[in-house]
A and B are shown apart, each in its own frame.
Chain A
Amino acid sequence: MLRRALLAAPLALAVRPARAAEASVTIDNFVFTPPVLTVAAGTKVTWTNRDDIPHSVVSAAQPPLFKAHVMDTDETFERVFDTKGTFPYFCGLHPHMQGTVIVT
């Protein structure tokens, strides 16, 4: 069992791309920029709060597919989007702030 697991580990690493795609969303003045982000499946999206008020990132799906802990100034939230689709989200503190991640 143990030997099999050890053999499988490097194999799993090998099928991953050498460097995962990354994309970012910034929050300035209570706005997600870009408001619509289109990425390839497997991309890691990082949100950064540059306001001096805390914000969060909450999936608008019911129930929510993801939910960031609140981000204070300069704090970040990361999520890898593995599934194709359209993922609307909003700020849990200021729900008029909205954005969308489109995974192709």
Chain B
Amino acid sequence: MTEHLDRRHALSCMAWAGGGLLWTVVGGVPRAGLIGSAQAAGTGFSFAQVSDSHIGFAKEANMDTKGTLESGMALVKARKPAFVLHTGDVSHLSKPAEFDAAAAILGASGFDTHYVPGEHDVLDEKGTAPFIERFQKRQTQGTPGGAYYSFDANGVHFVGLNNVVNLKAGGLGNLGAAQIAWLEKDLAGRTASTPIVVFAHIPLWTVYEAWGWGTDDSSKALALLARFGSVTVLNGHIHQVLQKVEGNVAFHSARSTAFPQPAPGSAPSPGPMKVDAGKLRSVLGVASVTVVPGQGPLAIVDTPLGA
């Protein structure tokens, strides 16, 4: 199930911004704006989303992923969000030095940061353990080894999921039965009017199956979320903004702070897009995105990226 992607959309995805997203909850409906844009302004409770910092990557698409993450965090800081969500691929190869560098930059921002792992963060022989130890220790005590957890802030229930382990040949992202059982328990007893924000690395809707951009068993998680009036699903992994609203669920994928990836199907592979280095930074904060509820099924909202 892939929506038609026109030329304008493909071009819009080429304009990349290395900043994070600022989310504002107004009347229970989270709205997103690219940090630095005037449209991101709001008076409600806000939080930022930073994703795919890929610390350790140093190739033509971006030789300075530390620098671009620092730029992104400077923009986040200027917006004064309540906290930051990092939707995975903190590191490029799960190396301790990469975790150190990322933790130093993200820690220096002073924000409480909630992480979920990307597939690049669990490459160590010990799987998720080093990532949990470094980035999730305080949250995942009740779910040892699972790298998933939940917390509440300002009346919003946040659920961090892990869909990057136990991947199967030919498959997509994977939540697994244990995590879905945990989610069912986590959501039980919460009123349907509680706004829910789910954050996970790989998109929880099928963006582009041929590139593995989706999660095999996400429908089971979404079924558990169906009774809630406001559900916002935040993902990373695909290094571009794509949105879709289906019923009460708004799906949104964030940009990377490291390098852009092509629009679904627009290139031979989902590998890093190489853009002019000057262009890479010049587009920071010039675009805005808004989660628009009520667009009906199958609506991926085209993202206006910059003037």
Contact = CB atoms under 8 A, between A and B. Distances in A.
A42 interface: no
Chain B interface mostly: loop
B69 interface: no
Residue of A53, A90, A92 with highest tally of chain B CB at under 10 A: A53
A98 interface: yes
A31 B93 CA distance: 20
A93 B120 contact: yes
A96 B59 contact: no
Interface string B200-211: 000000000111
Residue of B125, B171, B271 with highest tally of chain A CB at under 10 A: B271
Contacts of B119: 92-94
B61 A95 contact: no
A96 B212 contact: yes
Interface in A8-62: 29-31, 51-54, 56, 58, 60
B170 A96 contact: yes
A29 B172 contact: no
Interface in B12-50: none
A53 B170 contact: no
A61 to B, nearest CB: 9
Contacts of B229: none
B60 interface: yes
Contacts of A92: 119, 167
A70 B270 contact: no
A5 to B, nearest CB: 33
A94 B271 CA distance: 11
A58 B119 CA distance: 14
B169 A29 contact: no
B269 A72 contact: no
B92 interface: yes
Contacts of A88: 169
A73 to B, nearest CB: 7
B120 A54 contact: yes
Contacts of B170: 90, 95-96, 98
B271 A29 contact: yes
B142 interface: no
B126 to A, nearest CB: 13
B4 interface: no
B268 interface: yes
B304 interface: no
A23 to B, nearest CB: 21
Contact of A96 (B61, B120, B172): B172
Interface string B154-197: 00000000000001111110000000000000000000000000
A41 to B, nearest CB: 23
Interface in A48-86: 51-54, 56, 58, 60, 69-70, 72-73
A52 B211 CA distance: 16
A30 B269 CA distance: 6
A60 B269 contact: no
B75 to A, nearest CB: 26
Nearest to A64: B169
Nearest to A56: B123
Contacts of B268: 29
Contacts of B81: none
Given A30-B269, A70-B93, A95-B212, A54 B123 contact: yes
Contacts of B59: 52, 73
Interface of B: 59-61, 92-93, 119-120, 123, 125, 167-172, 209-212, 268-272
